[in-house]
Structures are given as structure tokens and as C-alpha cells.
């Protein structure tokens, strides 16, 4: 594997939230970073500006990860700008809450397309790299209304284990990071304060995760210290489960 200074990382869904923290962190560590986004070009460009002002290398690239052709263009753009991809962080995700009985077809298809198919679409790397998939600790919490979202993330975890074995001989590790409740729009938007307070107290560390808690974990798995971790799910969640 090349030195970090020569390594290229794509972070999907990096315009905001956990993905933006991961992209910023990897750029500070010396990776050239592709800041992928779906629609929020302004936030992605602002992050790229901040990275470049600090002396890093970055590029904003729009692609809906659920669209395989768009993902193909994302990789082509990355390769043209920086060379092949060494680190892929499959972070783009959406969460919609409804009971399994109440969710309509769009609710099911949308989450499967972005969370699950999106990660599959992106799974292509040159030899000697790291794939890090964002799961969620809801996979083990079994909360009502999280069924479809949790199912997409359980699929991600299963795929993480399988892909780590399928890539035998290519020196690519595949791991998942499963955050608990983290203070981003995905978690906070639309929730009554009492629900947020309740979920904040659930972990024995009695606080919400912050995006920076997760960028530490991803940087570890992407970097030299994570080289021997393969096919694992790391629950970075303050002990909630
Ligand atoms: P967030 O703040 O809502 O940000 C979501 C990001 O994903 C945005 O950059 C968004 O881009 C991008 N995105 C959404 N749909 C996309 C698509 N089809 N193609 C490409 N990008 C897309 O979410 P977050 O909380 O940071 O979550 C990041 C990951 O962590 C997700 O996989 C989520 O499931 C997982 N996670 C989060 C929590 C939590 O409590 N926050 C807990 C466990 C796991 P635009 O800005 O362009 O819309």
C-alpha cells in the first residue's frame, strides 16, 4: 500500500454529518479526498475549500450512489483527477422511520437503493486498499419503526464479511463501522426533544456520538494501524449495545 500522502479516498455522502467529518479527517492525514454528495453542492464545495485552504487535496463530486452509472462516473472522475482509489468509505445513507406494516413501497425501495445497493455499486478498488462501510447499532437494538433501515444495515454487515473473503489475494480489507445515535441531521431531524434526550441517555457514556467520534474510528481502519482488521464490524457507540 502506498504512503498515506499518495493515497486516494472516496467518501460517499461527505457534504454533511459523519461523512464530512471523515473526509476532513482523511484530508488532514494526507489523503486526497473525493467529497461525494447527492444534491448539496454548496456544502460539498465549502468543505473542499476548507480542505484546500489547510493545504489538503480534495474534489467535490456529485453522484447518487443508488445509480450504478453515476457511481461509474464518480470513479472515472476520481481516477482522472487523482489516480486509482485506495480507500472507499461507503457512508452515504438515509433513514426513514415507520413500522414495517406502515411503510409504503417508496419507503422500502428508497432505503434499500441508497443504503444497500449504493454500497454495492461503490465496491471497486485497486489492489491494496480499504473499504469501510457505515452500518448502524440499530442492527442490535431492535427498536420499533427502525425495521427497514436496520435491515439495510444488517445487509451491509453481512456483505462486509462476505466481501472481505471474496477479495482474498488482493490485499484489500473490508470492515464496517456501526455508530450509535450521532448528532447529525439524519438522527436529529423530526424527533421530539424528549425522544432525543432519552436516546442520549441510553449509552452508558450518556451523550450522543459526534461526527468526530466516527472519523477517529474510520481513520484507524483506513490507516496503517488498522491493517490487520478485516471482515469486522466495529460498534463505535459509547456502549449503547
Ligand atoms: P446525514 O447528516 O443525513 O448526511 C447524509 C449524507 O449522505 C449527505 O452528505 C447526503 O448528501 C448524502 N446522501 C444521501 N443520499 C445520497 C445518495 N443517494 N447518494 C449520495 N449521497 C447521498 O447522515 P449522517 O448521520 O452523517 O449518516 C452517515 C452514515 O452514518 C449513514 O450511512 C447513516 O446510516 C450512518 N449512521 C448514522 C447514525 C446517526 O445517528 N447519525 C447512526 C448510525 C449510522 P446531500 O447533502 O447532498 O443530501
**Segment 88-139, tens digit of pLDDT:** 999 999 999 999 999 999 999 999 999 999 999 998 777 889 999 999 999 9
Q: Is 149 a catalytic residue?
A: yes
* Per-residue pLDDT at 120: 95
Cα separation, 185 vs 117, whole angstroms: 22
Cα separation, 103 vs 144, whole angstroms: 12
Among all chains, which residue has been given the C-alpha cell 477479495? 167
- Say how many Å lie between the CA of residue 94 and the centre of ligand 1: 6
Q: Which of 38, 46, 65 to mutate to test the pocket of ligand 1 (most atoms within 8 A of CB)?
A: 38
- For 179, phi and psi rounded to 5 degrees? -70, 160
pLDDT in tens, 4-17: 778 999 999 999 99
Cα separation, 133 vs 162, whole angstroms: 13
For the chain, which ranges sit under pLDDT 50? 2
* Per-residue pLDDT at 126: 79
Please state at what angle helix 17-28 crosses helix 41-53, rounded to 10 degrees: 20
Q: Which of 11, 12, 19 to mutate to test the pocket of ligand 1 (most atoms within 8 A of CB)?
A: 19
Ordered by where they begin, the domains of the chain are 8-180+214-232 (3.40.50.720)
Cα separation, 28 vs 24, whole angstroms: 6
* Per-residue pLDDT at 4: 77
Residue nearest to atom 39 of ligand 1 (CA): 182
Amino acid at each position: 500500500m502506498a504512503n498515506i500522502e499518495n493515497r486516494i479516498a472516496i467518501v460517499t455522502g461527505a457534504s454533511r454529518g459523519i461523512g464530512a467529518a471523515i473526509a476532513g479527517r482523511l484530508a488532514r492525514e494526507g489523503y486526497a479526498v473525493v467529497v461525494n454528495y447527492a444534491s448539496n453542492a454548496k456544502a460539498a464545495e465549502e468543505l473542499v475549500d476548507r480542505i484546500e485552504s489547510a493545504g489538503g487535496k480534495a474534489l467535490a463530486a456529485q453522484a447518487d450512489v443508488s445509480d450504478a452509472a453515476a457511481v461509474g462516473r464518480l470513479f472515472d472522475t476520481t481516477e482522472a483527477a487523482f489516480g486509482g482509489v485506495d480507500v472507499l468509505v461507503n457512508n452515504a445513507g438515509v433513514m426513514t422511520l415507520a413500522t414495517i406494516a406502515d411503510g409504503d413501497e417508496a419507503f422500502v425501495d428508497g432505503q434499500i437503493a441508497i443504503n444497500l445497493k449504493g454500497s454495492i455499486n461503490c465496491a471497486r478498488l485497486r489492489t491494496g486498499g480499504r473499504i469501510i462501510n457505515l452500518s448502524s447499532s440499530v442492527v442490535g437494538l431492535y427498536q420499533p419503526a427502525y425495521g427497514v433501515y436496520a435491515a439495510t444495515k444488517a445487509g451491509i454487515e453481512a456483505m462486509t464479511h462476505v466481501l472481505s473473503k471474496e477479495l482474498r489475494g488482493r490485499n484489500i480489507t473490508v470492515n464496517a463501522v456501526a455508530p450509535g445515535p450521532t448528532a447529525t441531521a439524519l438522527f436529529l431531524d423530526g424527533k421530539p426533544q424528549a425522544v432525543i434526550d432519552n436516546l442520549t441517555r441510553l449509552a452508558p457514556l450518556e451523550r450522543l456520538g459526534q461526527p468526530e467520534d466516527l472519523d477517529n474510528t474510520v481513520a484507524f481502519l483506513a490507516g496503517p494501524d488498522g491493517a490487520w482488521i478485516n471482515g469486522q464490524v466495529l460498534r463505535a457507540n459509547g456502549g449503547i449495545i
